[in-house]
Amino acid sequence: MVEQVSMRKKWFEHVEKTRRKLQRKDKGTTHRAAMKAASVTWPQEKVKIQNKIKREERREAKEAAKASKAAASPPT
């Protein structure tokens, strides 16, 4: 079963990653500044996350169908 993904949590993970990148140049980078910078790249990152979720759901559905098909047909 695919675990529900909170986009809010993913957003803050993205901000955290962006802040780490910004702190390489400027050690005084604030969370607020990181949020501003992260908002530029968030749309692309969000699409990647959504595609990953869909991919996992399709994979699970395929495995479930395969398992039910195997269980439905009696062994010969």
Q: pLDDT (tens digit, 9 = 90+) per residue, 19-49?
A: 999 999 999 999 999 999 999 999 999 999 9
Query: What confidence score (pLDDT) does residue 67 get?
Result: 85
Look at phi and psi of residue 6 and say left if phi exceeds 0, alpha if psi is from -120 to 50, else beta.
beta
Kindly tell me if the per-residue pLDDT of 2 is higher than 70: no
Angle between helical axes of 7-23 and 31-72 (0-180°, round to 10): 130
Q: Residue 1 has what pLDDT?
A: 53
CA angle 71, 60, 5 (to 5 degrees): 145
Residue with tokens 């780490």: 20
- Supply the pTM of this predicted model: 0.77
pLDDT band at 68 (very low <50, low <70, confident <90, very high): confident
**What percent of the chain lies above the pLDDT cut of 70?**
92
